[in-house]
Structure 1
Amino acid sequence: MNKIIFMMSMSLDGYFETTEHSLAWQDISDELHIHFNEEIAAAGGMLNGRRTHSLMAGFWPTADEDPDAPKFVADYARIWRDLPKVVYSRTLQSASWNTTIVREVVPAEVEALRAAASGDLFVGGPDLLTTFQRHGLVDEYRIYVHPAVIGAGNPLFHPGTSLRLRLTESRPFTNGVVLLRYAS
């Protein structure tokens, strides 16, 4: 059965973005980006909240049109465009690039998506994660810990979150980022 996987980068002090919603503190090396490409290329779809989807849709649809873009960036743009995407939003009125808008997380509908997908489904966005956790829909966590302390920001896990996970893999990258892979 396909898994539902939460995949996100985090600072050493537990934040996924700054208070200004910046991700500029992340060190996405060529090696790490190629790894992300391999992970997402095997996916059956992406399940994102509105903010995460908007960030992605603001860059990836045309990133491969830049003649100076590295090959792995152009490759990811093609992967992202072709991948089926669901964006959970009560406010978004339209979306393109192989994207379906869904207003609410309904567990039976998520399970139907999981069953119909050609591979694992990747959840993006901490707010959406909280909803998926509440419904018991997350099978695996892939947390990329960056060697950066940003001091303040938006925490990866909401205050009050309680999880007991089992480490299944740890992988260091040459830029100091460490993948921590956990099963629920």
Structure 2
Amino acid sequence: MPKIVLMMSVSLDGYIEAPGHDLGWHRVDEELHQHMNDTVRRLGGLLSGRRVYETMAAYWPTADADPDASPVTVEFAGIWREIPKVVYSRTLEKADWNTTVVREVVPEEVRALKEAATGDLGLGGSEVAGEFLRLGLVDEFRTYVHPALVGHGTRLFPEADIAAPLDLVESHTFSNGVVLLRHAHAAAT
């Protein structure tokens, strides 16, 4: 059965964005970008909160129209437009590019979505990830730890009464210093 995989870039001190939604500290080079293309291409869909969706939708639908776009950028633009997406938001009225807006995270609906998926579902966004974690809906964690200290901003994991033993099932260091840490629940390994 497909899994729900929390996939996020994070600073060494645990932030997914600096104040003002700044992502300038991310170290995305061609190697990491190609890895993301290959990873997202195999997914059955993307699940996110409004802010992640709006950030992606502000750039990716037309990124390949830029004559200076790199081949990996052109490739990802097509992947992003085509992949099914669910955005969890109480305020977003509509979304384009193969996207469905859902108002609430309902465990039964998420499980049905997972069962119908053609591959794992990638989850992104702090608030929606916190809700998925609270409801026990995250099966795997793929954190891309960037060699940066941000100090303030949006934390990946909210403070919550969530405790779960995890096993490290993969690690990979990219040439730019970003480290992929893939964890699964200890009971699942």
Corresponding residue of 2:181: 180
- 5 Å-filtered alignment, 1:159-178, equals 159-160=159-160, 161-178=162-179
Letter matched to residue 35 of structure 2 = H
Letter matched to residue 111 of structure 1 = R
Letter matched to residue 144 of structure 2 = Y
Deviations 1:13-68 (A, max 9, x none): 11111021111100001100000000000000001100110000010000011111
1:148 and 2:148 matched: yes
> Distance between the aligned counterparts of 1:33 and 1:149, measured in 2?
21
Corresponding residue of 1:91: 91
1:46 and 2:46 matched: yes
Deviation at 1:126, TM superposition (A): 1.1
SS of residue in 2 equivalent to 1:20: helix
Corresponding residue of 1:9: 9
Deviations 1:82-136 (A, max 9, x none): 0000011111111110000100011111111111111100111011011101111
Q: Give identity over the alignment, percent.
A: 55
> Distance between the aligned counterparts of 1:60 and 1:144, measured in 2?
20
Q: Is the 8 A contact 2:126 2:154 kept in 1?
A: no
> Distance between the aligned counterparts of 2:67 and 2:176, measured in 1?
26
Deviation at 1:158, TM superposition (A): 0.9
- Calculate the TM-score normalised by the size of structure 1: 0.97
> Distance between the aligned counterparts of 2:53 and 2:151, measured in 1?
26
> Distance between the aligned counterparts of 2:164 and 2:157, measured in 1?
10
SS of residue in 1 equivalent to 2:180: strand
How many residues align structurally? 184
Deviation at 1:162, TM superposition (A): 3.2
Deviation at 1:168, TM superposition (A): 0.3
Which structure 1 residue ranges, 4+ long, deviate > 4 Å from structure 2? Answer: none
161-170 or 109-118, larger mean C-alpha shift: 161-170
Q: Which runs of 5+ in 1 are unaligned?
A: none
Letter matched to residue 58 of structure 1 = A
Q: Is the 8 A contact 2:47 2:86 kept in 1?
A: yes
143-152 or 153-162, larger mean C-alpha shift: 153-162
SS of residue in 1 equivalent to 2:19: coil
SS of residue in 2 equivalent to 1:74: helix
Deviation at 1:163, TM superposition (A): 3.5
SS of residue in 2 equivalent to 1:9: strand
> Distance between the aligned counterparts of 1:153 and 1:49, measured in 2?
17
Instruction: Indicate the RMSD between aligned Cα atoms, in angstroms.
Output: 0.9
Corresponding residue of 1:62: 62
> Distance between the aligned counterparts of 1:175 and 1:155, measured in 2?
22
